[in-house]
Structure formats: C-alpha cells, structure tokens
Structure 1
Amino acid sequence: MKQKLITLGLIVAMLISVIYVAPVQAAEADDDSEIITCKVIIYEYPTEPTEISAARATSTKSASKTVVFQNANGDVLWQVTLDATFRYNGSTSVCTAANASTQTFSSSWKTRVSSCSKSQNRAYASAYGNRYSVKGKLLETVTQNVTLTCSKTGAIS
C-alpha cells in the first residue's frame, strides 16, 4: 500500500511539473520568432536668424530624427533619437551640436547609444538593442545608425 502511494505521488508530481514547464517552453519559443519593423520620424525646429551681416543672415535650425522599432503587433519596443543643431547661411552649413538617446518600452530589450558625433554639416549616432529571453539569454542584437544632414539652405534630411 505504501509503495502504491509513493508511485501515485510521483506520477502526480511529474504531471504537475509537465503542466508548469510547458508554458515556459512555449514562451521561450515565441521569443525567438519576434518580427521587428522600424520607422523613421524627423522633426524640424526652425528659429529666427541669429546673426545679421552685410552679406548674409546666419540662421540656426534644430532637428530631431527618431527611429522606432516595433513588433508585428505594432507595439513599440525601443527607439533611438538623434538631436542636432545646425547653422546655415545660404552658402555653407555646419552642425554645432549633436546628442543621441535611446528609450526602451519592452522589458525584453536593453538599449544603448554606442557613439554620437558631428562633422561638417552632419550629425551621426549609432545605437544598439539587445533582446533577451525570459531566462536572460541573448537572442539578438539590432544596430541602428542615424544621420541628420543640413543643406546650405537649411533643408534637413
């Protein structure tokens, strides 16, 4: 009788462990198959001319470019934003400041800006996002480069 109770107890314990393990394994499998899309948003913030000279007025323009990463359901996972300020006067333009940041909206993603710089009339940023499983295993790394450029007439691209 005692042996039958032990056997029955073991069978019940095995059934319970199978019931609790199956959802975790299914969640892990779902993590591996996530589809990511991204979209780019550019904002411009023009200001009034800052310097008046006999030849040309110098204007300042600030702009922001955001790349948003989404899953197949349209949920935003993370984004990287590059903010830059430019001076232009019709014959030249120069980037005077650049700043980059990331924002994470999903607990399975960790993001970081790896570099941010400015050169002539361009601002550059590079960022990456690492996606982790529920158990903390690295599943993928996505790198995104962002560039903002200002033409000599103040057109942002």
Structure 2
Amino acid sequence: MKKIITVTLIISLISCILFCIPVSATTTDKTEKTIEYLENGDYIETIITDDTENSDISLYATNTITKTKTKYYKNSSGIVLWSVLVKATFSYNGSTSTCTRCSHSTSAPASAWSIKSASHSKSGNTATAKATATWKTSAGSKDYSMSVTIKCSATGVVS
C-alpha cells in the first residue's frame, strides 16, 4: 500500500512540474522608444509596443506578430498635444513578411488642438497611418501633419 501511495505522489509531482507553466513565462512587455526634438522646443516621442496575443513559438512555417507604433507630439513640458498610431499584424516565415491588417487611431487631448483628418494604408510588409491636427489660437490656426510607418522583416523584426 505504501508503494502505491509513493508512486502516485511521484507521478502527481512530475505531472505538476511538466504541465504547470508560470504566468510570467508567457507574458512580455516589450516597448521601444525614440525621441525627435524640434526647433520650436516641442518633440515627437515614438513608441513601439508588442500587441501579439500569443508570443509562443509557432509549430507552423508562418508566424504572426502584432505591433503598435505611436507618435506623440509633445510640448517642451512633456504634455501630449496630439498623437497618431498605427496597429499592424504581420505574417512572416523567414523568407518574406506581409502586413495582413492594419488600423489607426488619433488623439488630441490638449484643448487648443483637434484632429482634422486621418487615414491608414498597407502595402507589402509596411503599414502607415497619417494624420493632420489643427492648432487654434486667438491669432488663427495652423495645421500640422504627422505620419507613422511600421514594417516587419522576414524574420519578424518590427521597426
């Protein structure tokens, strides 16, 4: 009887070790950030984030990855005046990559700013979002345009 209990405990322990995967092993928080300073003191901050739902290695020849690239137009104090983002899903297999779908989003949280127009497009392994924002002051208004492009290499490297 002791042997049966011991064997059962050993099998249970081995099963638990083999099939219990910690949550931290399957989640990733990958972001890339760059800053471009403008002559007027404002700057554009660009951030790429990983939106891939399942980052496990695929057993198939084609892998899929989803990324978002956002450009924030900020004043010299670091306050976001307006932004545009492109979200794209790519398939890649080591030889080629293709953008399979994309979307865009814009925001103008500063009170003097508004979004005038926005669009997105995809071609081959590239997705682009374009937007125009209007800055209104008592002296008049001025339009600013910004585009954000995201592309994927054949090996799944997104820039």
TM-score (norm 2): 0.68
Alpha-carbon displacement from aligned partner over 1:9-63 (angstroms, at most 9, x marks no partner)? xxxxxxxxxxxxxxxxxxxxxxxxx7431110011234345672xxxx2110000
Match for residue 94 of structure 1?
98
Letter in 2 for 1:44: D
Q: Report the 3-state secondary structure (helix = DSSP H, G, I; strand = E; otherwise coil) of the residue aligned with 2:51.
A: strand
Match for residue 44 of structure 1?
50
Q: Give aligned pairs, total.
A: 118
Tell me by how many angstroms 1:134 deviates: 4.7
- In the alignment, the residues of structure 2 paired with residue 51 and residue 99 of structure 1 have an alpha-carbon distance, to the nearest angstrom, of 28
Match for residue 81 of structure 2?
77
Unmatched 5+ residue regions in structure 2?
A: 1-39
Structure (1 or 2) with the larger CA radius of gyration: 1
- In the alignment, the residues of structure 2 paired with residue 61 and residue 108 of structure 1 have an alpha-carbon distance, to the nearest angstrom, of 37
Specify which structure has the higher proportion of helix.
1
Letter in 1 for 2:147: N
Contact 1:101 / 1:113 at 8 angstroms: preserved in 2?
no
Letter in 1 for 2:130: S
Contact 1:102 / 1:113 at 8 angstroms: preserved in 2?
no
Moved more, 112-121 or 99-108: 112-121
Letter in 2 for 1:107: S
Alpha-carbon displacement from aligned partner over 1:45-89 (angstroms, at most 9, x marks no partner)? 34345672xxxx211000000101111211111111110000001
Letter in 2 for 1:145: S
- In the alignment, the residues of structure 2 paired with residue 110 and residue 65 of structure 1 have an alpha-carbon distance, to the nearest angstrom, of 20
Unmatched 5+ residue regions in structure 1?
A: 1-33
- In the alignment, the residues of structure 2 paired with residue 141 and residue 113 of structure 1 have an alpha-carbon distance, to the nearest angstrom, of 10
Q: 1:118 to 1:95 in 2, by over 3 A?
A: same
Q: Report the 3-state secondary structure (helix = DSSP H, G, I; strand = E; otherwise coil) of the residue aligned with 1:144.
A: strand
RMSD of aligned C-alpha atoms? 1.9
- In the alignment, the residues of structure 2 paired with residue 149 and residue 121 of structure 1 have an alpha-carbon distance, to the nearest angstrom, of 6
